[in-house]
Amino acid sequence: MRDLLQVAAAVQKQVTRDFTPLWGIPATVDAFEDLASVPSDYRPVVLFGDVGELSSRLEYALGAQPAETLIKALESDEVAGIHLTAITRQPFSLASVEGAWTVTVSHETLEMLADPYGNRLIAAAHPLDPARRVCYLLEVCDPCLSTYYPVNGLPVSDFYTPWYFDPVRTASVRYSFTGALSYPLEILEGGYLSWVDPRDSCLYQLQAGGQPVLLSGLADLVRSRDSLRTVVDSNPRTPRPGIGPLRQAASVVADEGAHVGLLEASLGTAQVTADALLSLTRQFD
**With helix as H, strand as E and coil as C, how does 82-141 read?**
EEECCCCCCCEEEEECCCCHHHHHHHHHHHHHHCCCCCCEEEEECCCCCCCEEEEECCCC
Q: What is the pLDDT of residue 139?
A: 95
pLDDT band at 80 (very low <50, low <70, confident <90, very high): very low
Q: What is the pLDDT of residue 254?
A: 67
Rounded CA gap, 140 and 137, in Å? 9
Q: Who wins on pLDDT, 262 or 97?
A: 97
Rounded CA gap, 206 and 143, in Å? 10
Of the listed ranges 7-21, 33-47, 140-154, the least confidently predicted one is 33-47
Read off the pLDDT of residues 171-211 as tens digits, 9 standing for 90 and up: 999 999 999 999 999 999 999 999 999 999 999 999 999 99
| C-alpha atoms less than 13 angstroms from C-alpha of 101 in its C-beta half-sphere | 16
34: number of Cβ within 10 Å: 10
Query: Does 276 score more than 70 pLDDT?
Result: no
Q: Average of pLDDT values for 27-38?
A: 91
Q: What is the pLDDT of residue 164?
A: 98
Q: What is the pLDDT of residue 79?
A: 46
pLDDT band at 93 (very low <50, low <70, confident <90, very high): confident
Across 193-232, b (16+ Cβ under 10 Å) vs e yields bbbbbeeeebbbbbbbeeebeebbeeeebeeeebbbbbbb
Among the listed residues 213, 179, 180, 218, the one whose alpha carbon sits nearest the alpha carbon of residue 198: 218
DSSP class of 45: E
Of the listed ranges 24-38, 149-163, 214-228, 229-243, the least confidently predicted one is 229-243
Rounded CA gap, 164 and 160, in Å? 6
Q: Average of pLDDT values for 241-258?
A: 80
Among the listed residues 68, 60, 64, the one whose alpha carbon sits nearest the alpha carbon of residue 36: 60
pLDDT band at 78 (very low <50, low <70, confident <90, very high): very low
Q: Average of pLDDT values for 230-247?
A: 83
Q: Average of pLDDT values for 137-152?
A: 96
pLDDT band at 49 (very low <50, low <70, confident <90, very high): confident
Query: Does 82 score more than 60 pLDDT?
Result: no
Q: What is the pLDDT of residue 35?
A: 80
